Amino acid sequence: MTGIEKIIAHIQAESEAAAKTVTDAAEAEVQEMLAAAEQKAKLLAANEDELNEAKLNEANTAAQSAARLAKRRVLLSKRGELIAQVIADAQKQLEELPDGEAVAFLLKLAAQCAGKAEGEMQLCEKDLARLPADFAEQLKKAAPEAKLTISKTPVPISGGFILRCGEIEQNCSLESLFYAAREKLQDIAQKTLFCA
């Protein structure tokens, strides 16, 4: 090999060595960049997992809250239906009292409602039919300060009576009494059914 060939070979060897060093350095830098990117990707994935887990927990909490609210609404609705049914059943029992108990109920109601009224007691057809012959005398004893007559014309109520004093009408029908006492009856039914 001649001197020039040796110099060229030496330059070539140095160039290859330098290229290898640069290539190795570049390769190392690439590996570091890949490792850093991978680490960053893992951190992002972990953060994403944490975010997803947080979102999942939040969604789960919201779903549980909505389920509890829906359950509460259903329970309240069912309680309301049950209370309404109990009150309706109580009214129906009063409407279907046997004759003697129904008359006693009318007398007790007249004693409470008539006061010193002077007028006409109007009853439903069913109650008119079951009044005993001495009901007027019993009524005078039950409400001694009142001056009441019994109308022969039935009124469309389920029980109780309408007390007509001239132009003034006092509704003592079962429907009216239960309507007026609705909130109190609901409270009683609530306590009896659900607080026992």
Q: Per-residue pLDDT tens for 101-155? A: 999 999 999 988 888 888 999 999 999 999 999 999 999 999 999 899 999 999 9
Contact 128, 155 (CB under 8 A): no
83 vs 33: CA distance, rounded Å: 73
Q: What is the DSSP letter of 186?
A: H
Buried b (16+ CB within 10 A) or exposed e, 115-135: eebebbbbbbeebbeebeeeb
Question: From residue 83, how far is each of 16, 19, 89, 94, 96 by CA, in Å?
Answer: 97, 93, 10, 17, 20
Reported as a single tens digit per residue, the pLDDT across 50-97 is 667 777 677 677 767 777 787 778 777 777 777 778 778 878 888 888
